[in-house]
Amino acid sequence: MASQNRDPAAASVAAARKGAELSLEFPSGYPYNAPTVKFLTPCYHPNVDTQGNICLDILKDKWSALYDVRTILLSIQSLLGEPNIDSPLNTHAAELWKNPTAFKKYLQETYSKQVSSQDP
């Protein structure tokens, strides 16, 4: 649910994420080792690279065997709305994030091109 006071760039990201697909691969050492989580659908975001890899501390050095899939998904949802632009995987997205209008424009242009190229 989008709030009226929400940052327009964050709202754009949330809208773009509708229908997004993630891959979760659980290692043999799970739950003591973190799963590998990636976006399968394109995700233009400061903390997601072009291959869909996600930079999220709980999937790396802050992992705990107490975390479950719900915790992972909620953390990703939170990251989408509040990225860590000080440690980006996608520096272009991190720079644009600082200007919500430019970020939203870039998303609209990029995703409208992708959608129109998929139309029959």
Compute the distance between CA of residue 53 and CA of residue 48 in angstroms, rounded to an integer. 5
Q: Which residues are catalytic?
A: 55
CA distance 97 to 17: 16
Q: Is 48 helix (H, G, I), strand (E, B) or coil?
A: strand
Cα 11 to Cα 9: distance, rounded to the nearest angstrom: 5
Q: How far apart are CA 34 and CA 41, in angstroms?
A: 21
Both tokens assigned to 87: 């440690």
